Structure 1
């Protein structure tokens, strides 16, 4: 492996490590906080670590060596107008995929349609409104950088786009870990398709953020009113 490829791979690993740190830091710190302050302080710490992780990933994404030159990135990324249109199209597709996959899970496995993770996050956001930034902004940004930009981009030449998207989708589903593996796996494949279609990581980010915003719509309406 030459120095340029090693540098790009190292930066992809750094992106993944930043994501893991942003997720795990509150888990390790909260037990050491005073019991009365654990929930509010933990929420603030989670929000700050997600914000910091997102900023670092956006900054690193501007570095040319972050993106390797391969069959996926050899084509120019879509301009902003096309990216936004495909992001909105991707959002509609993501909602439909989520509905279909949840109903399939229910028919086959009798899994509840509601996502436990989503319910917990919405409950926390209802009590701590600023946490909604994590749901509709920071999480989509970080997850797309990790599961699509870092993983798909760096596997595509080795195992092809289908293999890279499948591995990314499986990891995406496992990371959410609430039993709805078909839902998250299908969404992971869809977001990979959006990235592949436009070669612009902002496309799945827009679709992902809009989908999360719809899930948080009841809380958003309360904040606005």
Structure 2
């Protein structure tokens, strides 16, 4: 998940980035001290999330929000303000939320869980004697493997003892079922293929297409 920080105060920008350091799934793609810089950075980096101050010289955060909404309709806007009464203005540009200065870790975690459900969730797995964790947001494919579930993510793969059915019910906004033994990350779906009666789904970052059942293919066609 890519985010951009917009604030005319360098200390405020550094604080936001420091708080985000706890979340591996979020990558800062830039800082902007004013709206013009923000517009240029948003155009070049296509962030999923913009954290922006309301009170800035020149074009303020509200005006900037309107501009970003027009050029990037899917972008998530989160306003930062020292004045809670400004929250109503933020929601008038369909903001996803707001943070009141000074921002703390709990405030940020609650907001991220609201804006991006499951983005902070982690699943535990074991490698030898080591216990490790993977962010649910990073899991691209999960398949049944005998009595275990085999998960594939950007930096590798692992076996876990969580059934597919539970993964699907716990993280319905993240996964979609494509076969009785396979679920995939919804946002990673690039396209559906149907060749000689065989249905497959192409996933971003995955070399080989994944088999799709006939029933799932019909459902996916209506979604994508």
TM-score in terms of structure 2 length: 0.23
Asked which structure has the greater CA Rg, the reply is 2
Q: Higher RCO, 1 or 2 (CA under 8 Å, sep at least 6)?
A: 1
Larger % of helix: which?
1
